[in-house]
Structure 1
Amino acid sequence: MKKPQRLLMSIFLTYFLLITFSSCQKDEDLFTQAIDEEIEETVQEENKDDNTVDEPDTDSDTDPILDDEVSYGVLAFPSAEGAGAYATGGRGGKVLVVTTLADSGEGSFRWAVQQSGPRTIVFNVSGEIELRSSIVLNGSEHSNLTIAGQTAPQGGITIKGAPLQFYSVQNVVIRYLRVRPFNSQGAGEGNDAITCMGCRYVIYDHLSVSGGGDETIDFWHFGGSQSGNVTVQRVLTGESQNGGLAGGEQNPDVWRTLTYFSSHHNLSIHGYNRMPSNAAGGTHEYVNNLIGNWKFKLISAECNARVNQINNYYRPGATSNTSKGNGLNMLSVKSGHDVKVYASGNYYEGMNFANQDNRDGWTITINGQAVSPPNPWESYFQSSPFSIEGVPVTVTSASEAVNDVTGDVGANKYLKADGSYGTWQDDLDKEYISDFLNDTYTNCKGCSGFVWYDGGSYAYPNIPTNQRSSDYDSDLDGMADIWEMANFGTLNTGANDDADQDGYTNLEEFLNMVDR
């Protein structure tokens, strides 16, 4: 990636010698081998000779981090897994820099996200953005979007006051963002915190979402369009009426299907119901999630859904219903429906009946009437998981997932000028994690152990407001100048160039430093 003239001259000389002394087919093989060896040798030599820069790094005491990794089989980002892992987001599009916390106007989040065409949104400011109305994207012209919350300085970005709503958009990547749709008086709107209807190829990673007047996150059909190929990973949700909705209303029509959906390594706490609800059809997987202090149903599988429930950890709270039926999972079958479940490795704290056989964590209803096992089991439970598109999810045991997920969930990282990252969580996320680990309810304000924002007083945590200096990213290409100079030797490289030819743009290489 450094000293391109020297590398090109070496390649040219190698090629000249080969075509002088070799024959046609052999030339091609030798040329390819020689080029690979020359590139590797040159890059290694340059990394040894010149892996620091003279300009001091104001964010870190260490040298800037060089991007010396090459990636193949391009994912949304290196740690992307599940059905939405191949979402392209705003790759190759324009870079829009958020410079103000104002609700609207040039430089605002609303101004950036509502533009059309491929785009990546980066932030030169941290703090709270209080929306006066919902941000709505409606139509394919708003597709191909990356929201890179990790680019904000310490404190990150909190969207408050109103929800985010996406309709008929494709290829959406959102990372390291907090969405808490309360207004300054603490009252939430009746909408979901983040809605995505008729959306395909979507991945949410390291979000912190709370205060949905209905669901925290949902995916529906829209106007005859399916949603599908969706991943929600490392997301921390809490204090909403319902957890989530995967699919449209209870109708088996194919166009209402959420085709492929992955929910893995998430923490959801203090939700009333739908943790989540699988309406409509499609193949959905729930892997290594942590669920705490729910009120009623966990997973509800309906219509023609195919559900993998694998190695999740369920920790009930003071008001959780832990009986079969409405307390745990519901498999609901109606005439003409064909719903099936694979359940394995899930752990229900204090509920041995469900741990001995995970199928006992489910209640089966046929046309609204509960039926008793074992007769229905063969018809509705699989002995092996359903296949799903995308990238296989890394799976640990349910008990191992507790430390894994609580140690890395929610909007918890921000990039520094040298390409390293810092960690920071707001007090609300810290309390949610503590509530799960310690079986406590520090956020509860007189609501008898069950936390939902409408049952108690909600207070926003203090979010620091920081602004990047003008020389942090002087050319406004989304890459910090210090990191850019260290990796490319110039600020003239384009955000959409691909210096190492691995499929990730130069800008994405910088954004993906949080995956190291």
Structure 2
Amino acid sequence: MSVIFVLFRRASVQGFLAWTLLAGFAAPNVWAENLVSLLDGVSGFGMDTPGGMGGAVIKVTNTQNDGQGSLRWALNQKGKRLIVFEVGGVIDLAKQSLVIDEPYLTIAGETAPAPGITLIRAGIVIKTHDVRIRHLMVRPGDNNEPARSGWDPDGISVSGAFAHDVHIDHCSISWAVDENLSASGPRDKGHNFTSKRITFSRSIIAEALDAATHKKGKHSKGLLVHDFVQDVAVIGNLFAHNDRRNPYFKGHTSGVVVNNLMYDLGNAAVQVGYIEEEYQQSTFKPKNPRLAVVGNRLIYGLSSYSDLPLVAYQGDIYSLDNQVVNLDGAAMPQLQGHINRLEAPPVWPKNLQAIAVSALQQHVLKSVGARPWDRDPIDRRIIDSVLNGTGTIIDSQDQVGGYPKYPTRYRKLDVPLHNVAAWLSSFENQAGQ
């Protein structure tokens, strides 16, 4: 008999569907048959943060890179704060990443009028705790600089000892030169100095640039969880057209990779393992990552290595209800390398329930990204590539139309004094918002 999970629904205080996890035993197919059919909400690590809810409401009123009314100005305000947008369009960061070092923040990108908020030519760096970012498009690109020139931005990075209880939800991140997403800290100082309790959910993580401006050369990477980072949840995302790190959990890490759809990945999907040489000067000994990989679907594309597994290299892995499909639609091996198979998840968010992989693709493609109710042309093209079996890993944003030049639009917001959460939810799933 194999270890499975019996899950019972209960209501959470936020109004999402939440789930309590209890251990049990049965045949594997029984567990899969009793999964819920809808991805009704996401529960992960650090998601109980209030973010900026209950704090000051700060309005972004222009698409300038700096100055009063800009997003950068709003991020630099002190205290608990909810950032909303009376403007939609493109914010050119001019190679200056947005740095978030003031805690208790919610960025509510869903409040922007069409075409939403797109950040170009840099990304976001989170160095503090209790942060929630949702419904943003982040597209750094190569800044039209020479190959291997050293320009290597992440899309969104969560870094350092103070970076914890962070939720990145319903974002669209593409064209980064280092990683589209990352969670990190110093490699050689242990758990207390790295980021932790992070959830990346329902986002499009796609088209990380390959032979671009990174000084190392080819470097198309999806999501990195660096050494010693603990409790990272990667849930309900679309990974598409990235060569490696989809995601990559390094030494001493822990987390879950649940209900992600992966398409046209190059040489690696879920990578696990440490690099021995990186520990030679460390006081710590290397240690396997510990990971639960449940309900994910990997579909080969034209960029995919011919024997690409779902999970590879070295780690302690619990794996259940995953699929790998090659170009001919045939099933492929799921695990490769020095994988220690676990009989139960090493960690698991207490209110998380996976959906069956057989129901995964339709729900991810419907719900994923910054504006699933009104996608921009870039996200529509990426979604269509999955549906049509097209697309490939790219070296520059210019191969797929270049930086967007969306018109700037304005809309006044009347933010209520009460029931702000319900007011925010009204912006989602409404065409034209």
Picking from 251, 266, 270, the partner of 1:280 is 251
8 Å Cα contact 1:84-1:262 kept in structure 2: no
1:421-500 matches, cutoff 5 A: 423-441=373-391, 449-453=392-396, 456=399, 458-469=401-412, 472-473=413-414, 479=415, 484=416, 494=417
Q: 1:361 to 1:353 in 2, by over 3 A?
A: farther
Report percent identity of matched pairs: 27
8 Å Cα contact 1:160-1:183 kept in structure 2: no
**Does 2:302 correspond to 1:298?**
no
Q: CA deviation at 1:412?
A: 1.1
* Structure 1 partner of 2:225: 246
**Does 2:426 correspond to 1:513?**
yes
Q: CA deviation at 1:185?
A: 4.6
Q: How many residues were matched structurally?
A: 364
Name the SS for the 2:239 alignment partner. strand
Matches of 2:146 and 2:88, distance apart in 1: 23
Matches of 1:440 and 1:342, distance apart in 2: 32
**Does 2:347 correspond to 1:387?**
yes
8 Å Cα contact 2:120-2:403 kept in structure 1: no
**Does 2:113 correspond to 1:149?**
no
Q: CA deviation at 1:457?
A: 5.7
Name the SS for the 1:460 alignment partner. coil
Matches of 1:351 and 1:138, distance apart in 2: 42
**Does 2:335 correspond to 1:362?**
yes
Q: CA deviation at 1:454?
A: 6.8
**TM-score, normalization by structure 1:** 0.65
Q: CA deviation at 1:265?
A: 1.0
Matches of 1:73 and 1:457, distance apart in 2: 43
Name the SS for the 1:405 alignment partner. helix
* Structure 2 partner of 1:374: none
**Does 2:323 correspond to 1:347?**
yes
1:181-220 matches, cutoff 5 A: 181-182=140-141, 185=144, 189-198=151-160, 199-220=163-184
Q: CA deviation at 1:269?
A: 0.6
User: Could you tell me which amino acid in structure 1 is paired with residue 199 of structure 2?
Assistant: T
* Structure 1 partner of 2:311: 329
> Which string of whole-angstrom CA distances, capped at 9 and with x for unpartnered residues, describes residues 430-463 of structure 1?
010111111012xxxxxxx433427946523453
* Structure 2 partner of 1:404: 363
Q: Over the residues paired in the alignment, what is the CA RMSD in angstroms?
A: 2.8
* Structure 2 partner of 1:264: 235
* Structure 2 partner of 1:46: none
Q: 1:242 to 1:75 in 2, by over 3 A?
A: farther
Matches of 1:91 and 1:363, distance apart in 2: 44
Unaligned runs of 5+ residues in structure 2 are 1-10, 19-40, 209-219, 274-286
Higher Cα Rg: structure 1 or 2? Answer: 1
Unaligned runs of 5+ residues in structure 1 are 1-70, 249-256, 333-338, 366-376, 414-422, 442-448, 474-478, 485-493, 498-505
**TM-score, normalization by structure 2:** 0.77
Q: 1:267 to 1:301 in 2, by over 3 A?
A: same
Q: CA deviation at 1:179?
A: 0.4
Name the SS for the 2:409 alignment partner. coil
User: Could you tell me which amino acid in structure 1 is paired with residue 320 of structure 2?
Assistant: S
Q: 1:183 to 1:295 in 2, by over 3 A?
A: closer
* Structure 1 partner of 2:38: none
* Structure 1 partner of 2:13: 73
8 Å Cα contact 2:134-2:170 kept in structure 1: yes
Q: 1:138 to 1:461 in 2, by over 3 A?
A: closer
8 Å Cα contact 1:426-1:462 kept in structure 2: no
Name the SS for the 2:65 alignment partner. coil
Matches of 1:455 and 1:273, distance apart in 2: 21
